[in-house]
Chains A and B, each alone.
Chain A
Amino acid sequence: MRSTKKTTIASLAVMVSGALLLSSCGSSDAGSSEASESSAGGEGKTVLTVSLFGTMGFEESGLFDEYEKQNPNIDIKYESTQGETKYWPALQTKLQSGTGLADIQGIEVARIADVVANQSDKWTDLSQFVTKEQVPNYLEWKAEAATTEDGKVLALGTDIGPMGICYRSDLLEQAGLPTDPAELAAKMPDWDAYLELGRQYKANAPAGSAWTDFGGGLYNAIVSTEETIYYDESGEPVWDSNPAVKEAFDTAAEAGQEGLTAKLEQFNDPNWEPAFANGGFATIACPSWMIGYIKGKAGDAGAGKWNVTSLPGGAGGNWGGSYLAIPEASENKEEAAKLIKWMTDAEQQATVFNNVGNFPSNKEGIALVGDTTDEYFQNAPIGKVFSESAEAAPTQILGEGDGVIKTALTNALLSVEANGVAPADAWENAKAEISNQLG
């Protein structure tokens, strides 16, 4: 009796441990069946997953709902990561493993050269789908930047980043500065004049309010008006010897050293967003996509307090902007390509601009938004401001390491304004960091 009982217990134990083993090995199966389930969806619907960063405006403008209404067989699942510097590494991990990718992923313009040069095998060539018709509609540089040498179109453009200066007219008024966009623009023939206005502001400003948010933001705005930035046309890095980069860096460092900045690292400092509402800074270099940020973070209380004017000297430029692409691992490429085409059509881009300010990259879309004014910004003619900036913008040369270099220099500027590092030392630190990363 005893021995049989023992045997039963032992065999039970073997069975249990075996089952444990099976279940632990089988978990990968469970994962993949889940994935195929989600792509099949309930009631025969196709589920398209969309993963973006920041406020790209599609969800905010209700476009996903509209597309689902027009295409009852499609179910869109959307998610967004706040900061691009957090979104990108996560996306790279997923690309590496080939799992967890959405059908549609956003790509920031500073990463597109890297994608085209090094990851063309991980993204779908969109020219094989309907999207080929879309390409001629884009601003030439926007489409070219996402096309490989052998003609693969890896991504379609959503928005571009023409720039202006956004400002709190109530704060400027308190400091005795002009609040009318045209008057303010007349006082700013160049960036030095912008800093000079900042000094005047600082002398009369309400306590706890700085002229601008962050030296890194100022730097990005200045450098984004240039044609050659970090790389030359042959693809060689020239940022170190490019006087335009150094000048922009020095100007921003000067602003930081003089205390004209609020020392709030954009997107990463938890106090950056509240400062839109509580008047922590009076002006911010304002790519069109910043419009949506301001509305979101300053909220209803900020309505009618903000305004927009053109960059110092009426310069044109481009800071940021994005693309949409389909990972090679996607199982719904055709449907995803249709959705991308629709999302980047002129009408949808115009809708996004009118709602959150992301400026169209589609030529017809640009024509549609020329007369847009924005109630939130005291009826400022944002369509006109950003169209002019886009028109005057030089065609920028993009390079593989744009994102890395930009991040390192921005970080160096934070160390100048927040930690009192000498600009020359900060520049050297950034240089070491960049050569460490780019080899």
Chain B
Amino acid sequence: MTLSSTTAPPAPTDRPPRVVVTEKPTWKQRLFRAEEKGAPYAYIAPFFVLFIIFGLFPLVYTAWISLYSLKLGSSNAEWVGLENYVWLFENPKFYNALWKTLTIGVLATVPQLMFAIGLAHLLNYRMRGRNFFRVSMIMPYATSVAAATLVFGQIFGGGSGFANWVLSFVGIDAIDWRNGDWTAQIAIAVIVTWRWTGYNALIYLAGMQSISQDLYESAALDGANRWQQFRHITLPGLRPTILFTVVVSTIGATQLFAEPLLFGGGTANGGALNQYQTITLFMYQQGWTFGFLGRAAAIAWVTFMLIIGLVLLNTWIARRRDRDPMETAAKKARKVAAKGARR
């Protein structure tokens, strides 16, 4: 407050300066002042108190636990320093889990976002029953993961599941989806894709509607077909939205848990060869199946760092991208100028 009063421009001359208070403030005035200063903190307090209880404290406590050898079911913890981290970085299963998280993440995210953008583009046109299609997009997202995974578990059944039945028409032999390496990962990626495509499509749709309709109309007048319109108007206009969905999907893929757990029948093994054991599943297995809470805590912290790293990377890419529109605008301007010159 004092800062603003000193930097404020001089008060108009017809009013006396109000800053000088010579007499001591009364008790009531002081209370009033304290309240004025304190109120914003009180307003914001609930968030921070809840954050400290449910966010910060678990984070710090997990870090503390990760320095101990603590077995689930026993109450004596033994200080081991960084041993849990050494164990983790020497463990091939950790790298396996990292790799599987990456591969399943790519298998799930890339098609998911591509389908979503295509669907959103189609839904953006005027058509009959548009609202119905838009609402039904979001249905998979509203379905419980458990129910969806159980159903997909049956679809990808080994002998006579739906997926194998469909493939049998194109002459492909029955696939043991669950036990195979890539097949299990693909099956899980399909579940994730099915669930999140509609959600992303709606976000893209919202982004598309902020693009001016005039651009499409003038492009159509110039003879651009729908693909060209999509390529040259929709995609550039969607850039910030795409970046947002990529960040969110990346974080989601890093934390993929329920789908592989339930696909494995509720065990955290991720298949006999850990072929679909993601990093969170690996953490869960160490902590709750094997009972090594210290090791699980160490994995949790490494995962946390990993996600922070990914977010920073994304932000960095976003910053670089932010500079681009200026350049493209400049390029366009040059092109227009060149065209004009030709005329």
- Chain A interfacial positions (CB closer than 8 Å to B): 3, 7, 10-11, 13-14, 17, 20-21, 24, 82-83, 85-86, 89-90, 92-93, 95-96, 118-119, 122, 208, 263-265, 267-271, 274-275, 278, 280, 404, 411-412, 414-415, 418-419, 421, 436-437
Contacts and interface: CB of A to CB of B under 8 A. Distances in A.
A13 B158 contact: no
Nearest to B261: A86
B100 interface: no
A325 B150 CA distance: 32
B179 A263 contact: yes
A83 B264 CA distance: 12
Contacts of B83: none
B64 interface: no
A264 B46 CA distance: 51
A268 B266 contact: yes
A13 B179 contact: no
Given A10-B39, A270-B150, A264 B158 contact: yes
B178 interface: yes
B272 interface: yes
A411 B179 contact: no
Given A83-B266, A267-B265, 15 more contacts: A10-B35, A13-B39, A20-B46, A21-B49, A82-B266, A92-B288, A268-B264, A268-B265, A269-B158, A270-B157, A270-B178, A271-B159, A414-B272, A415-B273, A419-B180
A95 B32 contact: no
B290 interface: yes
A96 B180 CA distance: 36
B228 interface: no
B290 A437 contact: yes
Given A263-B176, A271-B158, A419 B273 contact: yes
Size class of B's contact patch?
A: 35 or more
A271 B266 contact: no
B42 A270 contact: no
A83 B72 contact: no
Contact of A7 (B35, B180, B272): B35
B223 interface: no
Contacts of A404: 290
A92 B178 CA distance: 28
Contact of B72 (A24, A93, A275, A280): A93
A278 B161 CA distance: 12
A411 B272 contact: yes
A411 B267 CA distance: 11
B45 interface: yes
A283 to B, nearest CB: 17
Contacts of A421: 272-273
A90 B289 CA distance: 9
Given A17-B42, A95-B73, A269 B269 contact: no
B276 to A, nearest CB: 12
A119 B179 CA distance: 36
Contact of A92 (B32, B39, B73, B264): B73
B144 to A, nearest CB: 16
A53 to B, nearest CB: 12
Given A83-B265, A86-B267, A96 B73 contact: yes
Nearest to B73: A92
Interface of B: 32, 35, 39, 42-43, 45-46, 49-50, 53, 72-74, 91, 150, 153-154, 157-161, 176, 178-181, 264-267, 269, 272-273, 275, 288-291
A3 B32 contact: yes
Nearest to B72: A92
A233 B285 CA distance: 30
Sort A-B residue pairs by CB-CB distance and give the 8 closest, nearest first: A268-B265, A418-B179, A415-B272, A414-B272, A270-B153, A10-B39, A89-B288, A17-B46
A150 to B, nearest CB: 19
Contacts of B264: 268
Contacts of B35: 7, 10-11
Given A17-B42, A269-B265, A208 B272 contact: no
B73 A122 contact: yes
A86 B261 CA distance: 11
Contacts of B158: 263-264, 269, 271
5 contacts: A122-B73, A278-B160, A404-B290, A418-B179, A418-B180
Contacts of A17: 42-43, 45-46
B83 to A, nearest CB: 12
A24 B50 contact: yes
Contacts of B161: 271
Contacts of B46: 17, 20-21
Contact of B291 (A92, A263, A419): A92
Contacts of A208: 159-160
Nearest to A275: B159
A292 B91 CA distance: 41
A386 to B, nearest CB: 28
A412 B157 CA distance: 21
A24 B53 contact: yes
Nearest to B74: A118
Nearest to B264: A268
Contacts of A436: 91
Contacts of B72: 89, 92-93, 96
A119 B291 CA distance: 14
Given A89-B288, A96-B72, A411-B272, A280 B154 contact: no
A268 B159 contact: no
B160 A86 contact: no
B286 to A, nearest CB: 9
B32 to A, nearest CB: 7
